[in-house]
């Protein structure tokens, strides 16, 4: 079973409790903070954060996604 790593990042909007999704509906997971920051929209509430710092309901969603592969 695969798990979340502190080295994986997502683009997260804390105000809306939303994360950036790919066109197929999967969560966009980045290998480092700089890659995630590059996809944050300017003048928005989006920020690059570690997957492990997300609310628990997002942990569950990402774990389901990475274990379906």
* pLDDT the model gives residue 3: 82
Residue 13 maps to a domain: yes
Q: How far is Cα 24 from Cα 26, in angstroms, rounded to an integer?
A: 6
* pLDDT the model gives residue 26: 94
Question: Looking at residue 25, what DSSP letter applies?
Answer: S
pTM: 0.90
Please identify which residue in the block is written with the tokens 């804390």: 14
Residue 45 maps to a domain: yes
Residue 52 maps to a domain: yes
Neighbours of 56 (CB within 10 A): 7
Q: Which domain holds residue 21?
A: 9-67
Residue 32 maps to a domain: yes
Residue 3 maps to a domain: no
Residue 1 maps to a domain: no
Residue 26 maps to a domain: yes
Do 27 and 21 form a contact (C-beta atoms < 8 A)?
yes
* pLDDT the model gives residue 68: 83
Residue 41 maps to a domain: yes
Give me the phi and psi of 25, to 5 degrees please: 95, -5
Number of domains in the chain: 1
């Amino acid at each position: 079973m695969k798990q979340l790593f502190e080295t994986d990042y997502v683009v997260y909007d804390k105000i809306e409790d939303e994360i950036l999704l790919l066109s197929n509906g999967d969560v966009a997971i980045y290998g480092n903070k700089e890659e995630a920051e590059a996809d944050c929209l300017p003048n928005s509430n989006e920020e690059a954060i570690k997957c492990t710092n997300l609310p628990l309901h997002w942990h569950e969603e990402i774990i389901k996604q990475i274990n379906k592969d």
